[in-house]
Chains A and B, each alone.
Chain A
Amino acid sequence: MQTYFNEIADHLGTLLQGEEVYTASFSAEESDFVRMNKSEVRQAGSVTDRSIEVDLIDGNRHAAGSSSLSGDAEIDRLRVAALLGDLREKRAALPEDPHLLYATDVTSTERVAENRLPAPHEAVDQVRDAGKGRDLVGIYAQGGIHRGFASSLGQRNWFTNHSFNLDWSFYHAADKAVKEGYAGFEWDTAELQRKVDLAAKKLDALGRKSHTVEPGRYRVYLAPAALSDIVGLLCWGGFSLKMHKTKQTPLLKMTEDGVTMDARVTIAEDTVGGVAPNFQDAGFLRPDRVELIAGGAYKDCLVSPRSAKEYDVENNGADAWETPESLEVNAGGLPTENALAELGTGVWIGNVWYLNYSDRSNCRTTGMTRFATFWVEDGEIKAPLDVMRFDETVYRMLGENLVDLTAERDLILDAASYGGRSVASGRMPGALVEDFTFTL
C-alpha cells in the first residue's frame, strides 16, 4: 500500500505546472465488520476503501478536492490527473487565502506495524462461543488502517496499523446490560476470556431487582469509560484555539474568569502514548505531548495550521477541527480496587450516554447513565440502577466535588467507524465525585 501511495504521489509531482505545489493526504482501510445480536451474526462483510485529498497550491491561492481510488496505480494515475485538472480550474476562480499554511520543512516519517491479526472468522467463532447461553450484542472489526501524507516538496509520511476492536455488551433484559471492550493488535484468547468472565460477573448483579433513586445529589464513581465520555465532550471546542479565540469554548470561564478544576487534574493530548499517526493533513508533525489543562488550570490549546497563521502563533500539528485524538487524563491516588469501598453509599456508573451541553458557557453537561450502573451501599453493590439523567458542570465534577482519581488507568481504543475506522484513543482513570446531580 505504501509503495502504491508513493507511486501516486510521485505521479502527482509530474503533473504540476509552473510554481505549483501540492499536498496530499491519503486514507485507506481493509476492514472486516461482523455485527452480532443475540450471540449470532447479524451482518458480516468486508470493506476496502481508499481515498486521497489533494490541495493544489499556487502562491496563496489553492483549491482542495478528494477522490476515491481503486488501488490500481494505472487507473488512479488517470483519476488524480483529472482531479488536478479540476482543482486548477477551480483555483482560478478563488481569491488568495490569508490563512493558508502547509509544511515546508520536509520531515518524512514512517510507522508500519506488523500484521498480527487472526483470520476474522476465527475471532468471530471465539466471540460466538463466549456468547453461548448469553445475549451478546455488538461488533467485531479488524483490519489494516493506512494514512499517508505527501507533498511536492518531497515530504512523505506513512502510517499503517493492523488492529481489532470487539465492542460488545451482555444483556440481561430490557435496558440492563454490561458493556465491555477488547481491542488491540494481537488477539489473545485468554484475554478475551478474562474480559468475558469480568462481564459475566457484573451480569449476575444485573439480575437483581433494580433500584430507582429520586433526582438529587449523590456520591458517584465514574468508571474510566464514563469519564472518557465526559472528558470527550470537552473536545467539542474545549481545546481548540479557534473556539477559544471566538469565545465559543465550553471552557470559557477558565479563560475569562480564571475558574479552575481540581489541582490534581491534568488533561493532555498525548500523541506518543496513543495509536494515531503523528502527522496531520497539511504535513505538520505532532509533538509527543501537549498539556491542555495542567494542575487544574487552562494551559494550552490545539492549534491547526490555519489558526496558527490567523493568530500568528506556532501550530502544534492539530487537525483542522483542533480536536484531540489521543486524550489523556492523569492518574490520581485512589487504587481502583478500593473504589467501591471509598464510594461507600452511592452510584457506581459504568458508562454514560448521549452527552451534550445544557449550558455551554458554564460547561454544564447533561447525559444519561447507561449499561452497568449500580446502587452501592457500604461499599457493596446492592442493585442495578434504573437509568438516570444527570445535569452537572464539569467544573464541579472535576473541581470542588472531585474526591480522587484512580491510580490505574484504562487505554480505551475508540470503536467508532463513521467514515472509516477511528484511530483515536484515550487513557483514562476512574473518578470518585461528591454531590453529582441527577435530575430525571
Chain B
Amino acid sequence: MLDLIEKRFAAVAPDDCFCSLRWVRSRSEKIEVREDVLQPVVSGDDEGVMLTVVDGDGLGYAATSDLTEKGLAAAVARARDWAKRTAGRSVVDHANVPRASATGEFDTAVGKPWSSMSLADKVALLERECARLKTDDRIVDWAASLWNVETDTALLTNRGGRIRQHLNTLMPGLRATANQGAETQARTFGSMAGGMQGGLELLDRVGFGDAAPRVAEEALELLSAPDCPSGTMDLLLGAEQMVLQIHESIGHPLELDRILGDERNYAGTSFVTLDMFGSYRYGSDLLNITFDPTKPGEMASYGFDDDGTPAKREFIIENGILKRPLGGATSQARAGMDGVANARACSWNRPPIDRMANINLEPGSSTFDEMVAAVENGVFMETNCSWSIDDSRNKFQFGCEYARVIEDGKLGGVVKKPNYRGISATFWRNLEMVGDGATERVMGTPYCGKGEPNQSIFVGHATPACLFAGVEVFGGAS
C-alpha cells in the first residue's frame, strides 16, 4: 500500500510550498477472558493519512481515510486552504520552523510475532490464566487479557523525506477483584501500565505465567487488611507506582507546549517556566531523568518523531537540575531553546503535538532491602489506582492498590487504600534513595490523554523503586 501512497502523493503534492504526508495503518486485536468466559474478540484495522501544507507563515492540515489519488488531492486542497486562511493569524510563525526531510527506517525488534501463535492457543492461554485467578469465593471478578497493536507509519515530504516505521506493542493484563460486604479490593498485573514493544516473547520476560496466584492472593489479603496509617512519614514507591509519579509530576509539567500555553484550556499549564531550564533544582542530586525513545522494547520507542526529527536520548534532569524541556521542532522554534524529538500524533487523524515518549528515571545504587532498612516509620506502596494533579502539575494526590507498613527497617503487614499527597515542586527534592537496576521495571501506558482535539497516546517509563522522606500519607475513610 505504501508504494501506491507514495505515487499518489507525488502526483498531488504542490511544488511551491512545503507539503508532507503522514500515513498510519494500525492493526489491533484484544482478547479477554473474564470470569472464565471469552469476551468478544475485536480486531481493528484503521488506516488513513494526514496531509500538512505550509504556505507562507500559515499551516493547515487535512486528514482522510480516503486514500485514492482523488482523496489525497482533496486533502491537500483543504490543508492548503487552512494554511492560507491562518497565515498572519497564527501564534506560530510557521515560515521559520525548520522542516525535517529525513530518510530512514525503524522496526520494533520482535522475537515471537503475534501471528506465530494461533488464536485458539491464545484463548487457551488466557482461559488457563483466568481460571488461576479464581482462588476463593470472595473473588467476584477476574480476567486475563492480551492486547496487541501493530502500527505501520510513513512520513513523506515533497522535499524528498521518506521515513518508514513499524512498531509492535503488547499489553498483557490480569485482574482479580475481591469483595466482602461493602468492601471491594482489586489487584492487577499490567493492565494500566504493563505495555512494552515486542512480541509474545515479552510474556515470559514480564512473568505473565507466574503472576495469577499472587494477584489473587494479594486482592484477598487487602480485603481483611487495616487501612493505611495516616501521617507524615517515609514513602517507598515500587516501580509500578513510580511510573505514574514520573508521568504526572515530571513528564507533563516539562512539555514545552504546556509551558507555551497551548494546553491551558484543557490539559493545563505548568508550574515550570522557560527561565527555569538550566538552573532550577527539580529534585535531589539523586534525580536523573532521561528522554529516551531509543531504549529497545520500551513502549514509546521510535527512530523519528512525527515531524521527522531523529530520535535521540537526552538528559531532561541531571543530578536534580532541570536541563531541557520536552518540546519538538515547532515548540523549540517558538521558545528559542533546544528540546527533544517528541512531536507525536496518536494516529493519522490528529496533528503532532509535544508528548512524552519514553521518560525514564535512571537507576541508582540502592538495593530494595537497603531502602527498606533505611526506614524507621513509613509505608511501601505499589501499583497506581488513583491519580489526580492540579492543572499546573503541582499539587498531586495518588492512590495505590497495595501497601505494606515499614517499621524499624522491616516490611510489616499489608494495609489497604493507601494514598499520599504532595507538591511536585518540593516532592522530588525529598528523594532520599534510588533503587538499583534490580528494582527497575520497563513499563508503558496506552492512556496518556492531552491535546485539542483530544489524543490518547502510548508513552513509556522505565524506573527503579525510590524512597522519599516526609510525605503526607493516609488511608480510606468515609
Contact = CB atoms under 8 A, between A and B. Distances in A.
Interface of A: 31, 33, 35-38, 40-51, 53, 55, 62-72, 75, 83, 86, 90, 93-95, 97-100, 121, 128, 137-139, 141, 167-169, 171, 174-175, 177, 179, 246-248, 252-253, 256-257, 353-362, 364, 366-368, 370, 387, 389, 391, 393, 395, 416-419, 421, 439-440
Contacts of B66: 48, 70-72
Given A357-B386, A366-B386, A141 B421 contact: no
Kindly list the 8 A-B residue pairs having the minimum CB-CB distance in the complex, ordered from nearest.
A45-B61, A359-B476, A139-B452, A246-B141, A247-B179, A138-B265, A417-B453, A40-B91
A169 B263 CA distance: 11
A69 B42 CA distance: 17
A50 B71 CA distance: 13
Contacts of B386: 356-358, 366
B182 A257 contact: yes
Chain B interface size band reads 35 or more
B86 A41 contact: yes
B38 A93 contact: no
A357 B184 CA distance: 13
A101 B92 CA distance: 52
Interface centre among A35, A40, A99 (most CB of B within 10 A): A35
Query: Taking chain A's interface residues, is the majority helix, strand, or loop, or is none over half, making it mixed?
Result: strand
Interface stretch (B116-124, B283-291, B315-323, B461-469): B116-124
Contacts of A95: 38, 123
Interface centre among B37, B66, B455 (most CB of A within 10 A): B66
B187 to A, nearest CB: 13
Contacts of A417: 452-454
Contact of A44 (B82, B423, B476): B82
A353 B45 contact: no
B399 interface: yes
Interface centre among A45, A65, A67, A86 (most CB of B within 10 A): A45
A68 B119 contact: no
B388 A356 contact: yes
A395 B477 CA distance: 12
Interface stretch (B196-204, B207-215, B296-304, B389-397): B389-397
A366 B44 contact: no
Given A37-B91, A70-B66, A86 B261 contact: no
A362 B387 CA distance: 17
Nearest to A136: B265
B41 A63 contact: yes
Interface string B242-269: 0000000000000000001110111011
Given A247-B140, A368-B390, A389-B388, 13 more contacts: A37-B260, A49-B63, A55-B40, A66-B42, A75-B68, A97-B40, A139-B453, A246-B140, A356-B387, A356-B399, A358-B399, A359-B478, A366-B388
27 contacts: A33-B452, A38-B91, A41-B89, A42-B91, A44-B82, A47-B63, A48-B63, A48-B75, A65-B42, A65-B43, A65-B44, A66-B43, A70-B67, A70-B71, A83-B45, A97-B38, A256-B182, A257-B182, A353-B390, A354-B391, A368-B388, A368-B389, A368-B391, A370-B390, A387-B395, A393-B478, A395-B478
A89 to B, nearest CB: 9
